[in-house]
Amino acid sequence: MTVIDVTGLTKRYRDTLALDRVDLTFAENTIYGLLGRNGAGKTTLMSIITGQNLATSGDVRVYGQDPYENPAVLRRMCFVRESQKYPDDATPRHALRMARLFFPRWDQDLADDLVAQFRLPMTKTIKKLSRGQLSMVGVIIGLASRAELTFFDEPYLGLDATARQIFYDRLLEDYAEHPRTVVLSSHLIDEVANLIERVVLLDRGSVLLDEETDAVRDRATTVVGEAAAVDAFVAGREVLHREGLGRVASVTVFGALTAADRSTLRTAGLETSPVSLQQLVVRLTQQSADAPASSEGVPR
């Protein structure tokens, strides 16, 4: 079931086009990865869907209704932004108490548990927290809200590797018990690759890609084996990435494999391994930069 329906959404700030006629739908009970470079329009898109910002033109429907100033729809969503502001002199304890007032499905035990796991200091004022601790407050609100539509805006900023792992684990764990729609904007693509079921890639305000993560992965292949055999196979193909260790090479090539390709691989004694989603996304974004850039010069 579609829960968010975006049609022709355009957002123009004074001289920049943040979103350019975006059409997207988000389905119920799915984890989305909202990917794209800085300034691609990820935060703007999430802000407009959650009624925090206004569209220049176009239409957003959440559960069939316009979310702007619509409490019936708003209460089913949670979006703590990356640069979230908090009331003056508020502590994490205050912030969580306030959040509890507004999210009907709030789980206090989950919140307490996360506080302990993250070792978040509860009585320090928020403006004195480190960047990582600030992110923790947002992550805890997002997870414990159990909102039917939860948006995470680069939630890992400043978090150490352990804390990030806690976030990913707890998100999956809680999602399994309480399915909901999660939209996760991220730059650490490979870290979230195993988490996200669907990839939405934005570039300069437009949707570049909107596909199942597995389908995206099938767009490229990593071939592993003896270096000479690998080179022979990849000759004439578009190479995304190459790694070598002694006589063994691992090369990622663009394009799906045909049945003929697979039998060639078998006879050559080569193996395939999963592709890094990050390398693919980087490649796709660069391709799109190259496409209209013929007149202004190719960036790289």
Partner 1 sequence: MNRTLNVARMQLVNKQTFVWVPALVLVGALAVTLAVYAILRSSGITGDTPFYGGGAQAPLWYFAVVGAQALTLTFPFSQAMSVSRREFFAGTLLIALATSAALALAFVAGGLVEEATGGWGMNGYFFKLDWLWTAGPVVAGLFYLALAMLFFIVGFAGATVYKRFGPVALTAVILGVLVILVAALWLVGALDAWQTVFGTIADAGPIGLTLAIAALVVVLAGVSFPVLRRATP
The residues binding partner 1 (CB under 8 A) are 47, 50-54, 69-71, 74-81, 84-91, 94-95, 97-99, 101-103, 141, 147
How far apart are CB 84 and partner 1 at their closest, in Å?
Answer: 6
Determine the residue type at 244.
G
Output the smallest distance, CB 277 to partner 1, in A.
Answer: 29
Give the nearer residue to partner 1 in terms of CB position, either 97 or 178: 97
Say which residue the tokens 């927290």 belong to: 129
Which two structure tokens, joined as six digits, stand for 35?
């990917």
Classify each residue of 30-53 as buried b or exposed e, where b means 16 or more C-beta atoms within 10 Å of its C-beta.
bbbbbbbbeebbbbbbbbbbbbbe
Nearer to partner 1, 146 or 217 (CB): 146
Among residues 110 and 275, whose Cβ is nearest to partner 1? 110
Q: Between 75 and 283, whose beta carbon lies closer to partner 1? A: 75
Rg of the chain, C-alpha, whole Å: 22
CB of 40 to partner 1, least distance (A): 19
- Count, in order, helices (H) and strands (E) of the chain: 11, 13
Residues 6+ apart with CB under 8 A from 137: 80, 84, 86, 92, 95, 96, 120, 126, 129
| Closer Cβ to partner 1, 53 or 206, answer by number | 53
Q: How far apart are CA 98 and CA 141, in angstroms?
A: 10
CB 171, min distance to partner 1, A: 18
> Would you tell me the crossing angle of helices 227-234 and 259-268 to the nearest 10 degrees?
160
* Nearest CB to partner 1, comparing residues 80 and 270: 80
CB of 85 to partner 1, least distance (A): 4
What single letter denotes the amino acid at residue 149? Answer: L
- 149 φ, ψ to 5°? -125, 110
Task: Output the CA–CA distances (angstroms, integers) from residue 243 to 74, 205, 231, 249, 253, in the order listed.
Answer: 48, 33, 12, 6, 12
Closest distance of CB 94 from partner 1, Å: 5
Nearer to partner 1, 32 or 79 (CB): 79
CA distance 228 to 92: 58
Amino acid found at 12: R
Q: Least separation, in Å, of the C-beta of 89 and partner 1?
A: 6
Q: CB of 72: closest distance to partner 1 in angstroms? A: 10
Residue 172 one-letter amino acid = L
Q: Which is nearer to partner 1, 103 or 233 (CB)?
A: 103
